[in-house]
Structure 1
């Protein structure tokens, strides 16, 4: 009787892609969607924060109690794999470059520690996404930035791009298989092409020509990566009218401490330019980083309120071992950091609501799931939409002209 294997994915869209890629190498096991039925559980882990590590540890402990063999892959395999392996918490460790070996490693039925290196580029492609209405394409791996707080370059390696021909081929197959929305992902997708004489903008120009693709959504990009080739595609109908541009902070003094490349006032100019073109805009922001004095925070807050932000991925600073920031004196109390986080979240929530009220355009929604009597999806501005209807519109594209704007989402009846 064939053993059953279950995949648990933590973290970013890149991990969602990597999980599907690893599944493609499974030949002698049945992949199941119920972890309670699994003999083997593969955890694709995240390590961007301490809480991410804690989540991985708690999940390992919970499934080990049921007697499942646990295999750890993803970013946490590099940062925590050795620790978990030596404590016998897990059966095996699988590095990013070793994905294709997973079937044979499990079949040997011997514990393994195969981290490999941080230089590989995936050869296989993903052509189907179970339980997803949209498809993810990984266009690059790794990051060349050296932000003081970030562990990711040390667990993902230097930036390296997938070949454009392979990406376009993957996109064509996905479009043929019925995926009309593509999400481009990677560790730092704005770095795409810097090692091959291309750019993210040039890649997008070619992806947009593929028949069947209705929308292309991007992962996080850096302000400095919006170049002339990127600006050329800003008016294209297939580009989602939402961009997520990582600021991390809005005080120039804090950006210097963080060893960031962006500049606060240039960032504001860029965001104002994009907002004038009708884009909803999101960002990442870290509060409570060492050195965030009251004076710096007030400067940051004053600047932050000038940014036309509609979406926010913000969190309290968490020191990561082997980063420069971890060597700095932590001088912001937890309570102060949480209050600062709450403040900027409230500002952006208000901005988002006002954006939706003032920007009453026809919404183009890809319906992704049914929940609590509503069909759920996201519009072109990456805002959630809940739809009531007697029709079956799951996985369908719908255009909505009449809808009610509420704090948590836009609501429509069709």
Structure 2
């Protein structure tokens, strides 16, 4: 009897991408497939960070059921906690499984009847992932959950409080992946910078130990909070294995807005930190929420004046989306109309695009790129140490190789180069 085929559809963050790899590695009695059309079961690893994320997941499930009405759909990820019960009752999915149940996926998928296995928000993974299907970079989840309670955010309620993975388990995972040819590692989690606080260690100590493993060439770090960049972390910035890009979540640059968001950072300290990091040669990205309740024209103009001063190179901008169960929804404050919020989003992203272009023009020599894919037009694509995309023309096979580029040309949205041996 042939084994049932399972396809994974992953939405959202790098943590979800890692969780998908955990589930893939636990499939013992099923066959993994990389094409949705071949699947008997589709596991949807969902994101629920915004209303838009929920809508995207729901839209995918509805379209999937129209395309393949016979397929069994299983909802996993953050959306399992926020929307799983509703989708199960509506008959949109065959089953729902929470974060803590993903290591039991092989057992759960055997069930012929519908199921709701939501589990708990205290679980810490024990799986050591040795391979990443279809990836050239390896994602390493080092912690789960968040102790912050930002007023707009639902994630602590679907991921739980901050808890760190065992350091030896993390290092064993890196050793196995490095032995399998992976050289770039991306540390991920719900709140990466909180790593180790519950175990008497720190992110900086983990980074030092990781860097000593044979084969580790570059380490990137997921989103950090400004207050988590301490003196111990700063001592690592000159290390050759540190990617020259940090993503530091500000969420806004108006102090009034930061207070309304229940954030722990304020602009004067943020500016000092960013200027220090930029002086050390780092590209700097951030998250920014546009259109939160209380964001009037005065707050927006102040925010953009400060954006102009900050040495930013990358941005992940969101338009505020009310999330049931969060404090922001109860704020009795006006928020910008949808068209105003969209215009502000465009203004912000264009400002950062111009900053990124200026940065790439002044950092266009001596770039080290891990080539990830070859596009349909024949160009190879990867990211340099500053997390800028580079398109490479070459007659060589560059897939999954490291390429040193003496010089690149800074295009409007990415760098361009030719490579010959």
What is the TM-score of this pair, normalised by structure 1?
A: 0.99
Please point out which of 149, 152, 155 is paired with 2:152. 149
Q: Are the counterparts in 2 of residues 73 and 95 from structure 1 also a CA contact under 8 Å?
A: yes
SS at match of 1:249: coil
Q: Per-residue displacement from partner, 1:358-395 (whole Å, max 9, x unpaired)?
A: 12330000000001220000000000001101111111
For 1:281 and 1:177, locate their aligned partners in 2 and report how far apart those are by CA, in whole Å: 31
1:13-412 to 2 correspondences below 5 Å: 13-65=14-66, 66=68, 67-328=70-331, 329-371=333-375, 372-412=377-417
For structure 2, list consecutive stretches of 5 or more residues without a partner in the other structure.
Answer: none
SS in 2 for 1:20: helix
* Deviation, structure 1 residue 217: 0.6
- Is contact 2:364-2:410 (8 Å) kept? no
1:41 partner SS: strand
Count of residues in correspondence between the two structures: 414
Sort the Cα spacing of 1:403 and 1:360 in 2 relative to 1 into closer, same or farther, 3 A: closer
Scaled by the length of structure 2, the TM-score of the pair is 0.97
Rounded Cα–Cα distance in structure 2 between residues aligned with 1:57 and 1:408: 31
How far residue 86 of structure 1 moved from its aligned partner, in angstroms, is: 1.1
Aligned counterparts of 1:249 and 1:100: Cα–Cα separation in 2: 37
Instruction: Give the Cα separation in 2 of the matches to 1:362 and 1:101.
Output: 46
Q: C-alpha offsets along residues 289-312 of structure 1, whole Å, 9 cap, x if unaligned?
A: 000011111111111111000000
Per-residue deviation, 1:402: 2.3
**Alpha carbon RMSD of aligned pairs, Å?**
0.9
Distance in structure 2 (CA, Å) of the matches to 1:112 and 1:221: 36
Q: Deviations 1:8-53 (Å, cap 9, x if unpaired)? A: 0000000010001011111111111111111110000000011110
1:377 counterpart SS class: strand
3-state SS of paired residue (1:224): helix
Distance apart, 1:100 and its partner CA: 2.3
Aligned counterparts of 1:399 and 1:342: Cα–Cα separation in 2: 34
**Is the 1:201–1:227 Cα contact (8 Å) retained in structure 2?**
no
User: 2:145·2:162 contact (CA, 8 Å) conserved in 1?
Assistant: yes
| Unaligned segments of structure 1, at least 5 residues | none
More off after superposition, 337-346 vs 237-246: 337-346
Runs (4 or more) in structure 1 with deviation over 6 Å come to: none
